[in-house]
């Protein structure tokens, strides 16, 4: 499973931008991809991969690509934020997948300014509660729960959440975050309360030894914390491996996005 915001359709490397995005996706060999800021590149990417595609529109924000058949779920009323599908895996197992984008905090825009001292993290929490938390609640309540039969249904939500995780910003990890911590970021707390697991933190529970970050590999902002996630839920789904991808297979090439990617390996067991 591969989660990636490709930055305005991958255009920031010029004519080679989408080619670089496709090269990285092929190298990942991921069976399923959740994408944000596809913005017109999705059909070309799907054709190059030979994958099924579901997107609200040919130039829209969100896309899901899959090696396996995609069954679209009833169209979200907020297609810029939510793109839910059901994917049928070999053997007939199904997994509900959603490519998601959550609104970011603008007052203050802490994902750019957090290095400054003297900021009040409570203000970040308030802004995230108004924007990102409201969006993820809608995704869970409107675009997920109605299609989940029971706790045996496997769900994976991949997205650019534009919000950090309280699992990263702890007291112990405060030196990695300009002295801020603990910070009770509301989106990650909400998802854990809803029974979802953060695959990366499930595999790498030590936030000091494995801080890492997904924003931004080209600007150097928030180098030790994540705003891009793969969350999962279900009695028979388990995350076996997960890592943040920030560099291309060829180190001489430029990474084509302002976001790093997340790649995770899942096992879905039989009841």
What predicted TM-score, i.e. pTM, was given to this entire model? 0.96
Give the E-state strand segments of the chain in sequence order: 2-5, 32-36, 52-54, 63-66, 70-72, 82-88, 94-101, 154-160, 197-198, 228-233, 237-245, 261-268
pLDDT at 100 over 70: yes
Strands of the 94-101 sheet, one edge to the other: 70-72, 82-88, 94-101, 154-160, 228-233, 197-198
* CA pair distance 53, 271, nearest whole angstrom: 29
Percent pLDDT > 90 in the chain is 82
- Quote the pLDDT of residue 118: 84
* CA pair distance 193, 179, nearest whole angstrom: 26
pLDDT at 65 over 90: yes
* CA pair distance 9, 3, nearest whole angstrom: 14
Question: Radius of gyration (Cα) for the chain, nearest Å?
Answer: 18
SS3 label, residue 176: helix
pLDDT at 126 over 60: yes
Which domains are seen in the chain, by residue range? 2-268 (3.60.10.10)
Between β-strands 197-198 and 228-233, what pairing exists: parallel, antiparallel or unpaired? antiparallel
pLDDT tens digits for 135-178?
A: 999 999 999 999 998 999 999 999 999 999 999 999 999 999 98
- Quote the pLDDT of residue 254: 80
- Quote the pLDDT of residue 220: 73
- Quote the pLDDT of residue 253: 63
Average pLDDT over the chain, rounded to whole? 93
Q: Confidence class of residue 225 from pLDDT cuts 50, 70 and 90?
A: confident
pLDDT tens digits for 2-20?
A: 999 999 999 988 878 999 9
Contact 231, 198 (CB under 8 A): yes
Q: Confidence class of residue 117 from pLDDT cuts 50, 70 and 90?
A: confident
What is the residue whose two structure tokens read 């040919």?
58
pLDDT tens digits for 228-265?
A: 999 999 999 999 999 999 876 655 568 899 999 999 99
The more confident residue out of 105 and 183 is 183
pLDDT at 221 over 80: no
Q: What is the mean pLDDT of residues 68-72?
A: 97
């Amino acid at each position: 499973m591969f989660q990636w915001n490709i930055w305005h359709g991958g255009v920031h490397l010029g004519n080679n931008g989408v080619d670089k995005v496709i090269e990285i996706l092929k190298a990942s060999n991921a069976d399923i991809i959740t994408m944000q800021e596809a913005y017109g590149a999705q059909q070309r990417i799907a054709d190059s991969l030979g994958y099924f595609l579901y997107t609200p529109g040919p130039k829209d924000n969100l896309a899901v690509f899959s090696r396996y058949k995609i069954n679209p779920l009833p169209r979200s009323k907020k297609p810029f934020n939510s793109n839910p599908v059901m994917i049928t895996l070999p053997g007939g197992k199904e997994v509900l997948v959603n490519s998601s984008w959550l609104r970011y905090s603008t007052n203050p825009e802490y994902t750019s300014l957090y290095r400054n001292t003297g900021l009040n993290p409570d203000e970040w929490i308030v802004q995230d509660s108004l924007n990102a938390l409201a969006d993820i609640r809608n995704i869970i309540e409107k675009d997920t729960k109605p299609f989940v039969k029971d706790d045996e249904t496997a769900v994976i939500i991949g997205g650019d959440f534009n919000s950090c995780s309280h699992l990263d910003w702890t007291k112990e990890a405060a030196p990695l975050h300009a002295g801020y911590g603990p910070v009770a970021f509301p989106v990650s707390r909400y998802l854990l309360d809803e029974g979802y697991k953060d695959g990366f933190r499930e595999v790498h529970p030590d936030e000091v030894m494995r801080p890492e970050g997904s924003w931004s590999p080209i600007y150097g902002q928030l180098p030790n914390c994540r705003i891009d996630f793969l969350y999962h839920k279900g009695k028979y789904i388990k995350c076996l491996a997960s890592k943040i991808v920030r560099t291309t297979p060829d180190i001489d090439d430029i990474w084509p996005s302002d976001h790093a990617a997340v790649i995770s390996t899942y096992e879905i067991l039989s009841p």
